[in-house]
């Protein structure tokens, strides 16, 4: 297995275990008013789709932009998570600040993620256009905003995941090994 | 009817009559060189699609960013319009400044509106990609940029309207009651 | 032919020969490590699709934002190129700065170009969402970011080119005359 985990790109950032950040952004979940079902769904999907040994770096925080920015920075800069996903807080309401925090901490934005996730959600509900979810790069971490409902989390993450391992290769993060029976990912052949 | 008009969300902002702002942004229309057909088309569609009693707050202004910003602010902050639509001024020409004014006055942008409207217009004309139309939130008002041609106004507004009443619920604006025979809107079930 | 070349809009900016800027943004190509195949592909397509006599204004530069900004400005302001295309440098890697340079020099952005190009590329590869390519206006020049691979350059430019001549009309640039047998472009009828 170790062979597979070696990043074929020049700079290798991969250590023993891949770290993935999972942040449930929700006033109510942060007060303990309900279980962190969104976070559990992300964990379940990563277990299913990845062959790597991986470790979840977990947080449940209220819809407060400074708190979320701080947590995103910590997971990127201190924990060195190759992938950080947020759930919730992407709508038009006054307390929805997840995209703002994401934009604030990222060096590069990837508008294609939000476009494709809205596109996919539009197949289910016309209110998909109300989601402001985005994605971006901070250092060697890819940050992706997901919706708050477990069903939508799966629909969205399933749509963009095929591009995620190669994206993380390009930013010299950990080399993700997919479980090809459950999730086909795409890596162009190296020149 | 009053029962229907009661907002089921906690904060109720709904008063007797819903106000909708309609701004025709056009140098030529503002000089009286032609009739405000775009504004009339928006009014016709609202009459057709809404059961609410509603009042149009109207303006025809030239393609001047400061004037448009001032009018958008007035309709949002003073008139308390739940929805404000602009027509025209979204192209690449030097006088097209509607998106700039919209971005300047909004606290949150909703990129999904522009994406979906361009997507829909692309079914008719390849020049749809030249439109920079967007949408966003200012306080309790949703602002949506539409094209200038009546035919395109209908195509665009029809595509995004199913998400508009729920969006306005989320920002605690007035509760819009659709005329279901003419326009199906979507509101997810409350948890 | 001269008749065809006359811009029907009021302001005529068209001179004898149309200039098109082609910038290959690539560290490796700029060091001469490989041939400028992206630039040659753009040239081939313009020869095929345009009836105008046209002149390529060429550059191969490294992935350095200040250098690219300078070159974009020069091609727009001094060379008066009606269209400027870049190839490469639009991904998530730390050296990919083409969109940043484009955004920095443009007065108006045209998000519909990036949306449509990603949409088209998604038909071929799921990693299309990693491209941050955009387009925008600087003065009388339209700037369009393309991918770096010749095959993808064709797929992308083919998808957006039908809107390009009319866009350049609207910004009062040179009047492009398509070779209708190879490329159908769209210009709405003037009111």
Nearest Cβ partner of C126 from A108, A163, A171?
A: A163
Chain A CB contacts of B185 below 8 Å: 126
Burial track C64-101 (b if 16+ CB lie within 10 A, e otherwise): bbebbbebbbebbeeebbbbbbbbbbbbbbeebbbbbb
The residue whose two tokens read 């942008």 is: B109
Chain C CB contacts of B121 below 8 Å: none
| 3-class secondary-structure state, position A45 | helix
Report yes or no: A91 at the B interface, CB cutoff 8 Å: yes
Predicted confidence (pLDDT) per residue in C126-158, tens digit? 999 999 999 999 999 999 999 999 999 999 999
Report yes or no: B66 at the C interface, CB cutoff 8 Å: no
What's the rounded mean pLDDT across residues C110-137?
A: 98
Q: What's the pLDDT at C33?
A: 92
| 3-class secondary-structure state, position A143 | strand
Q: What's the pLDDT at C5?
A: 43
* ipTM, interface predicted TM-score of the complex: 0.91
Mutate to test the interface with B, among C7, C83, C106, C108 (most CBs of B within 10 A): C108
Is C2 among the domain residues?
no
Chain C CB contacts of B128 below 8 Å: 112, 163
Mutate to test the interface with C, among A111, A161, A168 (most CBs of C within 10 A): A111
**Separation between Cα atoms, residue B115 and residue B110, nearest integer Å:** 9
Q: Distance, in angstroms, between C47 CA and closest chain A CA?
A: 29
CB contact under 8 A, C92 and A186: no
Q: In which residue ranges of chain B is pLDDT below 50?
A: 1-14
Instruction: Tell me the torsion sign for CA atoms B172, B177, B181, B183.
Output: negative
Q: What's the pLDDT at C175?
A: 97
Asked if B87 and B144 count as a contact pair (C-beta separation under 8 A), the reply is no
Chain C CB contacts of A109 below 8 Å: 132
**Separation between Cα atoms, residue B79 and residue B20, nearest integer Å:** 9
Is B190 among the domain residues?
no
What's A146's domain CATH number?
3.40.980.10
Is the per-residue pLDDT at C8 higher than 60?
no
Q: N- to C-terminal Cα distance for chain B?
A: 25
Q: φ and ψ at B53, to 5 degrees? A: -70, 130
B108-109, strands of its sheet edge to edge: B54-61, B18-25, B83-87, B141-146, B135-138, B108-109
Nearest Cβ partner of B129 from C110, C170, C185?
A: C110
Is B143 among the domain residues?
yes
Both tokens of C90, joined, read 């639009």
Asked if A59 and A23 count as a contact pair (C-beta separation under 8 A), the reply is yes
Q: What is the DSSP letter of C187?
A: -
Nearest partner of A160 among A106, A109, A108, A120, judged by Cα: A120
Query: How many angstroms separate the Cα of C133 from the Cα of each of A60, C85, C96, C97, C109?
Result: 34, 11, 10, 10, 11
Q: In which residue ranges of chain A is pLDDT below 50?
A: 1-14
The residue whose two tokens read 């009286």 is: B32
Q: Distance, in angstroms, between A31 CA and closest chain C CA?
A: 35
Q: φ and ψ at C58, to 5 degrees? A: -110, 145
| Count: domains in chain B | 1
Predicted confidence (pLDDT) per residue in C21-62, tens digit? 999 999 999 999 989 999 999 999 999 999 999 999 999 999
Q: What's the pLDDT at B189?
A: 83
Predicted confidence (pLDDT) per residue in A165-182, tens digit? 999 999 999 999 999 999
CB contact under 8 A, B130 and C167: yes
User: Residues near B44 by Cβ (< 8 Å), separated by ≥ 6?
Assistant: none
CB contact under 8 A, A186 and C127: yes
Predicted confidence (pLDDT) per residue in B140-161, tens digit? 999 999 999 999 999 999 999 9
Nearest partner of B131 among B150, B141, B118, judged by Cα: B118
Is A42 among the domain residues?
yes
**Separation between Cα atoms, residue B148 and residue B133, nearest integer Å:** 11
Q: Where in the sequence is the domain holding A156, given as residue range(s)?
A: 14-170
Q: What is the DSSP letter of A189?
A: P
**Separation between Cα atoms, residue B83 and residue B142, nearest integer Å:** 5
Residues facing residue B24 across a β-bridge: B60, B87
Instruction: Please work out, in degrees rounded to the nearest 5, the angle formed at the alpha carbon of residue B77 by the alpha carbons of B72 and B82.
Output: 80
Q: What is the pTM of this model?
A: 0.92
**Separation between Cα atoms, residue B169 and residue B10, nearest integer Å:** 10
Confidence of residue C189 (pLDDT cuts 50, 70, 90): confident
Q: What's the pLDDT at B16?
A: 65
**Separation between Cα atoms, residue A162 and residue A187, nearest integer Å:** 9
Is C185 among the domain residues?
no
Task: Tell me which H or E stretch contains A73.
Answer: helix A65-73
Is B179 among the domain residues?
no
Chain B CB contacts of A27 below 8 Å: none
User: Residues near B144 by Cβ (< 8 Å), separated by ≥ 6?
Assistant: B83, B84, B85, B86, B113, B135, B157, B160, B164
Report yes or no: A122 at the B interface, CB cutoff 8 Å: yes
Burial track B119-140 (b if 16+ CB lie within 10 A, e otherwise): bbbbeebbbbbbbbbbbbbbeb
Q: Are strands B108-109 and B135-138 parallel, antiparallel or unpaired?
A: antiparallel
Query: How many angstroms separate the Cα of C149 from the Cα of each of C24, C28, C48, C86, C124?
Result: 11, 14, 19, 12, 13
Is the per-residue pLDDT at C182 higher than 70?
yes
Report yes or no: A30 at the C interface, CB cutoff 8 Å: no
Chain A CB contacts of C114 below 8 Å: 111-112
Is A180 among the domain residues?
no
**Beta-carbon count within 10 A of A1 CB:** 8
Chain C CB contacts of A134 below 8 Å: none
| 3-class secondary-structure state, position C180 | coil
Predicted confidence (pLDDT) per residue in A134-168, tens digit? 999 999 999 999 999 999 999 999 999 999 999 99
Listed in sequence order, the DSSP H helices in B74-189 are 98-105, 111-121, 150-160, 164-170
**Separation between Cα atoms, residue C39 and residue C22, nearest integer Å:** 6
Is C175 among the domain residues?
no
**Separation between Cα atoms, residue A166 and residue A160, nearest integer Å:** 11
**Separation between Cα atoms, residue B131 and residue B133, nearest integer Å:** 6
Burial track B149-163 (b if 16+ CB lie within 10 A, e otherwise): bbebbbbbbebbbbb
Both tokens of A60, joined, read 């449940």
Asked if B49 and B86 count as a contact pair (C-beta separation under 8 A), the reply is no
Both tokens of B59, joined, read 């303006």
Name chain B's partners: 3 or more CB pairs within 8 A.
A, C
């Amino acid at each position: 297995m170790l062979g597979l985990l070696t990043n074929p790109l020049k700079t290798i950032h991969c250590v023993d275990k891949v770290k993935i950040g999972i942040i449930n952004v929700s006033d109510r979940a942060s007060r303990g008013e309900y279980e962190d079902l969104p976070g559990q769904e992300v964990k379940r999907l990563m277990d299913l789709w990845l062959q790597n040994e991986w470790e979840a770096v977990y947080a449940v925080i209220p819809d407060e932009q400074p708190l979320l920015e701080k947590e995103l920075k910590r997971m990127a800069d201190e924990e060195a998570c190759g992938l950080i996903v947020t759930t919730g807080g992407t709508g038009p309401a006054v307390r929805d600040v997840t995209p703002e925090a994401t934009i604030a901490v990222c060096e590069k934005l990837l508008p294609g993620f939000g476009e494709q996730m809205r596109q996919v959600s539009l197949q289910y509900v016309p209110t998909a256009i109300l989601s402001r979810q985005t994605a971006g790069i901070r250092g060697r971490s890819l940050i992706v905003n997901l919706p708050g409902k477990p069903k939508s989390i799966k629909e969205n993450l399933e749509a963009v995941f095929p591009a995620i391992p190669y994206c993380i290769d390009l930013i010299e993060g950990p080399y993700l090994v997919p479980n090809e029976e459950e999730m086909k990912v795409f890596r162009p052949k190296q020149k």
